[in-house]
Structure 1
Amino acid sequence: MAEENYLSTPDLSPLEQDVLDEYERLANNMKQVNTPREAHESTYPPPPPPRRPATRDKRVPLASRISLASNPTTDILDGLRDLERQTSMAFTLLKASVYSIVLQQEIDWGAGEAAQGPASSVMGSDSDD
């Protein structure tokens, strides 16, 4: 009962009211699914009608949604192809950056070993005498 008072608050925007209406319908549907058929017929009243039909007019009609879902437009496919090219380019640049860092570290370590090499040989020759 408190939920009904909360759901009918005039302070809610039409979008908030629609969301609450959808949650209420979803809750009723979940109750119907979770109860046996004979208990459902005697216990639960039919779901209430939509509270704000005027805001529902802004939605895309079902026929349009079905046609959009069944026939992807070329704009969507072109956008996905472009996104795929961009992600592959970003991956290639990432691999090149990692390779560059690894190569630079090998060069730095090689230069460090080369600098230590003659010093260690001199020390080694001193210790032999």
Structure 2
Amino acid sequence: MDVSTDSKRGPPTDGEGELTPLEQEVLDEYAKLAGNLDNLSGILAELAANPSAEILDALRGLERKTTTVFTLLKASVYSIVLQQEIFGDERREEGGGMGT
């Protein structure tokens, strides 16, 4: 029980204000991480506010390619459906002619 209450109070009283090397290393790493996250946040905010011309050009190219693929896909599906209808009509005509 004493250990948990001691950890809530802070460092031990015999070397108050001093950190172990491990504690100092952990705090340094957290400080570096916080600095890196601040830098990343700033860069992302800048990119969101002012997208670069390269990114916009790449997105336009991607949009054109996607549109082309979508158009070709629609045409292919239409062609398949049309072929199935033609073959279905031919089969009905052949089947109807034999029965009469």
TM-score, normalized by the shorter chain, greater than 0.5: yes
Following superposition, the deviation at residue 71 of structure 1 comes to: 0.9
| Alignment coverage as a number of residue pairs | 74
Who is 1:67 aligned against? Answer: 46
Query: CA-atom RMSD, angstroms?
Result: 2.6
Residue by residue, what CA displacement relative to the aligned partner does 1:62-116 show, whole Å, maximum 9, x if unpaired?
5443332211101110111111112111211111111111111011111101211
**Which protein is richer in helix relative to its size?**
2
One-letter amino acid of the structure 1 residue matched with residue 56 of structure 2: L
Matched, 1:53 2:31: yes
Secondary structure of the corresponding residue to residue 92 of structure 1: helix
CA distance in 1, matches of 2:41, 2:85: 62
**Aligned residues with identical type, % of pairs:** 42
One-letter amino acid of the structure 2 residue matched with residue 81 of structure 1: R
Matched, 1:95 2:74: yes
Task: Note the 1:1-129 alignment, pairs <5 A.
Answer: 52-59=30-37, 60=39, 62-121=41-100
Following superposition, the deviation at residue 54 of structure 1 comes to: 2.2
CA distance in 1, matches of 2:53, 2:72: 28
Unaligned residue ranges in structure 1 (runs of 5+)? 2-48, 122-129
One-letter amino acid of the structure 1 residue matched with residue 86 of structure 2: I
One-letter amino acid of the structure 2 residue matched with residue 111 of structure 1: E
CA distance in 2, matches of 1:65, 1:117: 69
* Change in CA separation of 1:50 and 1:86 when aligned onto 2, cut-off 3 Å: farther
* Change in CA separation of 1:105 and 1:62 when aligned onto 2, cut-off 3 Å: closer
CA distance in 1, matches of 2:61, 2:96: 52
Does 1 or 2 have the higher relative contact order (CA < 8 Å, sep 6+)?
1
